Amino acid sequence: MRTKPARVVAIYPGSFDPITNGHLDLIERGAAFFDKLIVSILRNDEKQALFSVEERMEMLSEVVGGFSNVEVGSFDGLLVDYAAQNGASVILRGIRAVSDYEYELQMALMNRRLRPEIETVFLMAGEAHSFVSSRLVKEVIRLRGNISGLVPPSVEGRLRKRVLGEP
């Protein structure tokens, strides 16, 4: 039987390109559960991101600054190795729909096989955010749609500047 570590550290990984209010909701809720929550961006050179890892880290830092137990980081390689290097015993993942669950289950089971001491915890997306994804937000802004309320205001400004060329 495993015992609870004295301090529970969790990793919330993702691309966060850009961070949405759905991500922020999960961060807020995760910060209440864990002693330390590391929100970390996967460095994936194969994906064509709108924002660089550094820009995404900057945006994350801006919006999570009010949480004393939340840090921002980035990693490449295996998530479970990164988690172990940071003393994390939990990987936090969000689930919006059944389609998310199927993918996340595969990842969780592989991570458990690689590092059985690290658990994956799923949180359901809040109802207000269950349809929001970074991909969808980028698509809507490209088509000049209204994204207010879907992303933090500072992120909306960056999106308008990057995608629409607004000052």
Q: Which residues are catalytic?
A: 23, 47, 96, 134
* Phi and psi at residue 124, to the nearest 5°: -70, 140
In this predicted structure, the answer to whether residue 5 has a pLDDT above a threshold of 80 is: no
Residue 140 falls inside a structural domain: no
Residue 152 falls inside a structural domain: no
Residue 137 falls inside a structural domain: no
Residue 151 falls inside a structural domain: no
Other CB atoms within 10 A of residue 103 CB = 11
Rounded to whole angstroms, the Cα distance separating 93 from 87 reads 17
What range defines the domain where residue 35 resides?
A: 9-131
Give the pLDDT confidence of 124-150 residue by residue, as tens digits.
Answer: 988 888 888 999 999 999 999 999 999
Give me the CATH number covering residue 122: 3.40.50.620
* 99 within 8 A of 130, measured Cβ to Cβ: no
The mean per-residue pLDDT over the stretch 18-37 comes to 96
Give the pLDDT confidence of 48-74 residue by residue, as tens digits.
Answer: 899 999 999 999 999 999 999 999 999
Percentage with pLDDT > 90 across the chain: 81
Residue 94 falls inside a structural domain: yes
* 119 within 8 A of 81, measured Cβ to Cβ: no
Q: How many independent structural domains does the chain possess?
A: 1
* 159 within 8 A of 18, measured Cβ to Cβ: yes
* 20 within 8 A of 150, measured Cβ to Cβ: yes
Residue 104's Cβ-side half-sphere holds a number of Cα atoms within 13 Å equal to 20
